[in-house]
Amino acid sequence: MSFSVAVLMDPIGAIKIAKDSTFAMLLEAQRRGHQLFYMEQGDLALRDGSPWARLAPLTVKDDPSGWFSLGEARWRDLRELDVVLMRKDPPVDQQFLYDTMVLEAAQRHGVQVINDPRALRDCNEKVFALHFPQCMAPTLVARDPAELRRFVDEHGEAVLKPLDGMGGRGIFRVRSGDSNLNSMLETLLGGDSHGQGRQFAVAQKFIPQISAGDKRVLLVDGEPVPYALARIPQGNEFRGNLAAGGRGEGVPLSDRDRWIAAEVGPELVRRGLRFVGLDVIGDYLTEINVTSPTCIRELDAQFGLNIAGTLFDAIERTAVEPVSQ
């Protein structure tokens, strides 16, 4: 069974292939004989309501000296394709949302879009986790600086972060009474001198178990991979994100990890979120990553897995027996 598989991603020439999960997916698709096509955000269009894209034939190679080659790009009706991997990194801004609208038009005509475009619009990676309060530490999402200060005072120590970000950027650890708290809130909330136009920010009770790592638990069609990547902070850094210098160490899932996955998994399946990364610190879910979750390459290397293979097994099964949405 050979598919046409298109990927929408950030520039492929800038990725680090040893850590890039999208690249792992492309390698697996090519290994299975699927035909690959490449596009970026500027390559999407709607023509009289029909989804089109400027697609370049793509071949990939697991070679850091030259990992891809592109053929001549041409405009093509997306409804002719079998699969689209939506793997654009955050921010989930207006342009990202418009992309999902084009991809949803393709989905209506039977194209498998992973992850589901509607779910990408609906499931902010911080807010969606709050659908499962039984899994989480105390968390507040607010625009009001007074409420956020109250939360920090209530819990003594908290982590503040933007509602839309990735890689640990813009995250602060703060204690009650910290003289820098107002400055942190100004940075996160924005707005003018009258408080207008403020952005939402997230405050979570600080979880000391971050010292043992911020675990990334990957799920395919709601089922967890049996190992997680614990991203362990280094030196004086409290953030475990690999992009912030964290060290990745593979660990078996704990009973608590599996319980969290079981709580979250059915809702992921219902929404068409087929490849998802849960962030778990200690006993607590902190985020649900739906846009472009990573850590495939590290877990594959440490445990001899083929996580992208599991994903493509699911994609190929769906081509025979579509998953109910």
Is residue 279 part of the annotated active site? The answer reads: yes
Q: From the candidates 28, 214, 279, 298, which is the catalytic residue? A: 279
Q: From the candidates 88, 149, 205, 216, which is the catalytic residue? A: 216
Is residue 126 part of the annotated active site? The answer reads: yes
Q: From the candidates 88, 215, 239, 274, which is the catalytic residue? A: 239
The DSSP secondary-structure symbol of 292 reads S
Is residue 124 part of the annotated active site? The answer reads: no
Q: Which residues have a Cβ under 8 Å from the Cβ of 173 and sit 6 or more positions away?
A: 157, 158, 159, 160, 206, 238
Is residue 161 part of the annotated active site? The answer reads: yes
Residue with tokens 């290994």: 31
Q: From the candidates 241, 271, 289, 298, which is the catalytic residue? A: 289
Rounded Cα distance, 41 and 10, in Å: 8
Q: From the candidates 28, 99, 125, 126, which is the catalytic residue? A: 126
Is 94 strand, coil or helix? helix
* Torsion angle, alpha carbons of 2, 4, 8, 12, to 10: 70
Q: Which of 110, 147, 140, 96 is nearest to 4 (CA)?
A: 110
Q: From the candidates 231, 271, 274, 297, which is the catalytic residue? A: 231
Q: From the candidates 88, 149, 161, 205, which is the catalytic residue? A: 161
Rounded Cα distance, 122 and 115, in Å: 12
φ/ψ bin of 191: left (φ > 0), alpha (ψ from -120 to 50), beta (otherwise): left
Any bridge partners for residue 232, and if so which? 247
Pairing of strands 35-39, 50-60: antiparallel
Q: From the candidates 28, 287, 298, 300, which is the catalytic residue? A: 287
Rounded Cα distance, 271 and 236, in Å: 39
Is residue 306 part of the annotated active site? The answer reads: no
Is residue 180 part of the annotated active site? The answer reads: no
Is residue 215 part of the annotated active site? The answer reads: no
Helical pair 296-303 and 307-320, crossing angle rounded to 10 deg: 110
Is residue 270 part of the annotated active site? The answer reads: no
Please give the positions annotated as active site.
126, 161, 216, 231, 239, 279, 287, 289
